[in-house]
C-alpha cells in the first residue's frame, strides 16, 4: 500500500489516508453563517476521498473575523448548518475538522475580490481590530487596539465556547489557528508583541496565550478527539520567530496534549521574502517532527501524488495538507490512489468513472 494511503489513528479517530484538505477562507458567509456554498465546497472534498476536511478559519467572535464574509461559530444559531455539513462529510467516510480562529490585527478587511483593504473602524461595516500591541500590520493601516487583561480572558472564553459549539456541530477535529499573522501568531512573534506584562517579552510569555487557549479548549473538548495547532514555523524575517522556536513550542504543545502540529509559515510581516518552491514548508514539518517528537502536517505547494507519498514515506510528516490543488481537483485523493496504484473506495454513485 502506498504510504499516502496508510491509515492513521489519532486518539479515537481513524483517518483512512494522509490526505487533508487545508483550511481555505471562502469569505462567503453573512453574519458568520455557513450556507449551501460551504456544504458543496467542503462536501466535494469528502466525496473526493480526502481523509480529513478542515473548514476555513472560523471566527470565535465577530471582531475575530478577517472580513465581514468570514465563517463564524460565536453563537448557537451557527450550529445547525455546520451540523448538516459535518453529517455529509462523515457519510462519505471522511472526517470533519474545524479551524478555530481570531484574526487579531488583520481583522476588519474587505474580501479579496473587493481588494482585501482594511475597513477602518469608523467606516461603515468596519470595527476596531484587537492585538497584543498597537502595531499595525502595515504603516498604511489603522493601528489595532492593545488587548487588556479582560480582553485576553474574553478571547480564551470565546475559543472555549466555540469548541463546545464545534462538538455540538459534529466536528471530530479542532485545529487552533496559530499561524499567518493572526492573533495567536501575533502574540508569539516578537515582531508584533511588545507587551511588558505576562503575555510579552520572553518566549514563555509570548506563547502563553496559545497555551491558555489550548487549555480552555481542552476543558470542553473530549479527551478522545484530536486537537491540532497550525503554526507559522518561521517569520522569514531577521529578529522574528524561528524554526528552532517552533521546535521548542511544539515540545510544549505535545506536553499539553496537542496531537499534531501543522507547520505552515509566514504571514506576520508584509515584506517577508518567502522562497516559494514545491514543498517549501516541508522542512519545518520534518524538523518539528524529528526534534519535538510530535506528529506533524506538511503544507504548501504540495500538488502531486508522488510528492505527497514521498513526504509520508520518508517520514518528513504524518499528514499532507493541500489547499489550491484541492480547488483545482477536489477528487485529488481518488486520482492519487489511481496514480499510486491503490484501490481506494469510490462513492458508489461515481464507480462508473473509475480508472
Q: Give the active site residues.
A: 182
- Residue at shortest CB range from ligand FMN: 323
Secondary structure of residue 34 in the 3-state scheme: coil
CB under 6 A: which stretch of 20-28, 37-45, 88-96, 201-209 binds ligand FMN? 20-28
Secondary structure of residue 185 in the 3-state scheme: helix
Which residue in 102, 177, 287, 289 binds ligand FMN (CB under 6 A)?
177
Q: Tell me if 253 contacts ligand FMN by CB under 6 A.
A: no
Distance in angstroms (rounded) separating the CA atoms of residues 25 and 99: 10
Q: Tell me if 99 contacts ligand FMN by CB under 6 A.
A: yes
Q: How far is the CB of 282 from ligand FMN (least distance, A)?
A: 11
Distance in angstroms (rounded) separating the CA atoms of residues 294 and 85: 30
26 or 158: whose CB is closer to ligand FMN?
A: 26
263 or 334: whose CB is closer to ligand FMN?
A: 263
Interface of this chain with ligand FMN, residues 275 to 334, rule: CB under 6 A? 299-302, 322-325
In the shown chain, the binding pattern of residues 222 to 251 toward ligand FMN, with x for contact by CB under 6 A and - for none, equals --------x---------------------
Angle at CA 330, nearest 5°, toward 326 and 331?
Answer: 120
Interface of this chain with ligand FMN, residues 52 to 71, rule: CB under 6 A? 56-57
Q: How many residues bind ligand FMN (CB under 6 A)?
A: 20
Secondary structure of residue 338 in the 3-state scheme: helix
CB under 6 A: which stretch of 12-20, 74-82, 177-185, 204-212 binds ligand FMN? 177-185
CA atoms within 13 A on the CB side of 96: 23
Which residue in 20, 24, 288, 334 binds ligand FMN (CB under 6 A)?
24
Report the chain's terminal Cα–Cα distance, integer Å: 18
CA atoms within 13 A on the CB side of 263: 33
143 or 274: whose CB is closer to ligand FMN?
A: 274
Q: How far is the CB of 343 from ligand FMN (least distance, A)?
A: 26
Residue among 180, 239, 186, 233 at smallest CA distance from 208: 186
Which residue in 4, 10, 19, 25 binds ligand FMN (CB under 6 A)?
25
Kindly state the cell numbers that stand for 255.
506536553
What single-letter DSSP state applies at residue 184? H
Q: How far is the CB of 99 from ligand FMN (least distance, A)?
A: 6
Angle at CA 242, nearest 5°, toward 238 and 248?
Answer: 150
Angle at CA 220, nearest 5°, toward 150 and 20?
Answer: 105
Query: Applying CB under 6 A, which residues contact ligand FMN?
Result: 22-25, 56-57, 99, 177, 179-180, 230, 264, 299-302, 322-325
Amino acid at each position: 500500500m502506498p504510504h499516502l494511503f496508510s491509515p492513521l489513528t489519532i486518539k479515537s479517530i481513524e483517518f483512512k489516508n494522509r490526505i487533508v484538505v487545508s483550511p481555505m477562507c471562502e469569505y462567503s458567509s453573512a453574519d458568520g453563517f455557513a450556507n449551501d456554498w460551504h456544504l458543496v465546497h467542503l462536501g466535494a472534498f469528502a466525496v473526493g476521498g480526502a481523509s480529513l476536511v478542515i473548514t476555513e478559519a472560523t471566527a470565535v467572535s465577530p471582531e475575530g473575523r478577517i472580513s465581514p464574509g468570514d465563517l463564524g461559530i460565536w453563537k448557537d444559531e451557527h450550529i445547525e448548518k455546520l451540523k448538516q455539513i459535518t453529517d455529509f462529510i462523515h457519510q462519505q467516510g471522511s472526517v470533519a475538522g474545524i479551524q478555530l480562529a481570531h484574526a487579531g490585527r488583520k481583522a476588519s478587511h474587505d474580501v479579496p475580490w473587493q481588494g482585501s483593504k482594511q475597513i477602518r473602524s469608523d467606516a461603515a461595516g468596519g470595527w476596531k481590530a484587537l492585538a497584543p500591541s498597537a502595531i499595525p500590520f502595515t504603516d498604511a493601516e489603522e493601528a489595532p487596539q492593545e488587548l487588556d487583561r479582560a480582553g485576553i480572558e474574553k478571547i480564551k472564553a470565546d475559543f472555549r465556547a466555540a469548541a463546545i459549539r464545534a462538538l455540538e456541530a459534529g466536528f471530530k477535529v479542532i485545529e487552533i489557528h496559530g499561524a499567518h499573522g493572526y492573533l495567536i501568531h501575533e502574540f508569539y512573534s516578537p515582531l508584533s508583541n511588545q507587551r511588558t506584562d505576562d503575555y510579552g517579552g520572553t518566549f514563555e510569555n509570548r506563547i502563553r496565550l496559545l497555551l491558555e487557549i489550548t487549555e480552555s479548549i481542552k476543558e470542553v473538548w473530549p479527551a478522545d478527539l484530536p486537537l491540532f495547532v497550525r503554526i507559522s514555523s518561521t517569520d522569514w524575517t531577521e529578529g522574528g520567530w524561528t524554526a528552532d522556536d517552533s521546535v521548542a513550542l511544539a515540545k510544549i504543545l505535545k506536553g499539553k496534549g496537542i496531537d499534531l502540529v501543522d507547520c505552515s509559515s509566514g504571514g506576520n510581516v508584509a515584506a517577508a521574502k518567502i522562497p516559494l518552491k514545491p514543498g517549501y514548508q516541508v522542512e519545518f514539518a520534518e524538523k518539528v517532527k524529528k526534534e519535538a517528537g510530535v506528529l506533524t502536517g506538511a503544507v504548501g505547494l504540495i500538488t502531486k501524488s508522488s510528492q505527497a507519498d514521498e513526504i509520508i514515506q520518508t517520514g518528513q510528516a504524518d499528514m499532507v495538507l493541500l489547499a489550491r490543488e484541492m480547488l483545482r481537483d477536489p477528487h485529488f485523493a481518488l486520482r492519487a490512489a489511481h496514480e499510486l496504484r491503490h484501490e481506494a473506495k469510490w462513492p458508489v454513485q461515481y464507480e462508473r468513472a473509475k480508472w
